[in-house]
Structure 1
Amino acid sequence: MEDFVIVSGCSGGGKSTLLAELRRRGFATIDEPGRRIVAEELSCGGRALPWVDAVAFARRAIEVSLADRATADAGARWIFFDRGLIDACAALEHLTGERVLQKLGRLYRYNKRVFLTPPWPEIYATDAARRHGLAEAVAEYERLTSVYPSLGYDIHVLPKVSVAERVDWILTSLAC
């Protein structure tokens, strides 16, 4: 779907803050599946957490991402996803070797332009939902910089500028 725009990249690179600014400007946004799953699992004592059962977590992220796509407002001009199906499939494939990326990644498409937040050590922080360190976040980022082009997407690495400038940069890139 041309109107489904992925914002992905390095954990702790400012994706959630960026999506909040897009939302403030009136754009439709979909929050990161992983953060929603972690909040739900922590609230009910679940085990589908990246630091407890990473495979179960990745499988849940795929389910949530598919549900997000199915319920996204088809009438919105742009819908910005904080991560999504490709990221979840890449994680599962990395963990298990299960070949889901090519199948699901080719079946469920997003806008050709994918916006990646690069590693940004100066703003990186852990919290209750992000317990991994910067090195692990960078390794994931490097995987994603290969995964997206392998599926025919064009990567646009976001500059390390203010949130407002990043949003303006994305909108200009999309010719909004």
Structure 2
Amino acid sequence: MAQTHKIVLTGGPGTGKTTVMHELEHRGYNCFSEISRQVILEARTLGIDQLFLNDPLLFSQKLIQSRQRQYNEAGKQAAEKVFLDRGVHDVIAYMHYAEADYPPSFAETCRQCRYDTVFLFPPWEAIYVSDNERYEDFGQARAIHNFIKSAYIAYGHHPVEVPTGTVKDRADFILHTCGNHSPGMM
């Protein structure tokens, strides 16, 4: 069996990553969902409205552990391509954005988790929307984008910027860049 290619869709908040991820899933690709909203909602059941703002380190520890599990699980898939909505490097990017310290284990996790391709979704004001889990304004989203790009580059990745356009066009761009349009083939 061929090696599973781990492909990350990343970028600042509100850039269309999850919508494109749903399109790829609809087309039959194996996709791992973003998990930060789940962590946020779990914290709310404990009475913590914004865990990242209240305790960025605890929030980030939960995220990096979950994303590392996703990374490991992606490598066990029978599919040749697996798409992940964000990767472990996003955690460090957000910690830098928050100017928060993090343990050396975060950097070690980033060194160990190598993705085959990283697609970076740029800030796009026309589609940006805030909600209960996405509290950043567009200026903050733009700053986060820069931290994310820097984090992936710092760990040896070469992010490919996804052009703005329709969901179909963006998904097609990703698949074309990966080398084909059929699930399970590389």
Equivalent in the alignment of 1:157: 161
Compared with structure 1, are the counterparts of its residues 44 and 71 closer, same or farther at alpha carbon in structure 2 (3 Å cutoff)? farther
Are 1:104 and 2:124 matched, yes or no?
no
| Structure 1 residue 110: Cα displacement | 0.9
Q: Deviations over 1:84-143 (max 9, x none)?
A: 2111133335421544454211211111x2101101011111111101211221111111
For 2:137, the aligned partner's letter is G
For 1:104, the aligned partner's letter is T
For 1:121, the aligned partner's letter is E
CA contact (8 A) 1:62 1:85 kept: yes
Give the CA RMSD over aligned residues: 2.0
CA contact (8 A) 1:47 1:53 kept: no
CA contact (8 A) 1:90 1:147 kept: yes
Moved over 6 A (4+): none
Are 1:40 and 2:42 matched, yes or no?
yes
Query: How many residue pairs are counted as aligned between the two chains?
Result: 175
For 1:106, the aligned partner's letter is R
Are 1:116 and 2:136 matched, yes or no?
no
CA contact (8 A) 1:17 1:163 kept: yes
For 2:133, the aligned partner's letter is A
Q: Which of 61, 86, 93 is the matching residue for 1:83?
A: 86
Output the CA distance in 2 between the equivalents of 1:75 and 1:48.
37
SS at match of 1:95: coil
For 2:154, the aligned partner's letter is S
Equivalent in the alignment of 1:5: 7
| Structure 1 residue 153: Cα displacement | 1.0
Compared with structure 1, are the counterparts of its residues 107 and 48 closer, same or farther at alpha carbon in structure 2 (3 Å cutoff)? farther
Output the CA distance in 2 between the equivalents of 1:149 and 1:123.
26
Identical-pair percentage:
28
Output the CA distance in 2 between the equivalents of 1:100 and 1:124.
33
Q: Any unmatched runs of 5+ in structure 1?
A: none
CA contact (8 A) 1:118 1:141 kept: yes
Bigger Rg, structure 1 or 2: 2
Q: Any unmatched runs of 5+ in structure 2?
A: 181-186
Equivalent in the alignment of 1:74: 77
Output the CA distance in 2 between the equivalents of 1:172 and 1:64.
29
Equivalent in the alignment of 2:60: 58
Output the CA distance in 2 between the equivalents of 1:22 and 1:44.
34
Output the CA distance in 1 between the equivalents of 2:151 and 2:34.
18
Output the CA distance in 2 between the equivalents of 1:35 and 1:100.
23
Output the CA distance in 1 between the equivalents of 2:72 and 2:102.
26
For 2:11, the aligned partner's letter is G
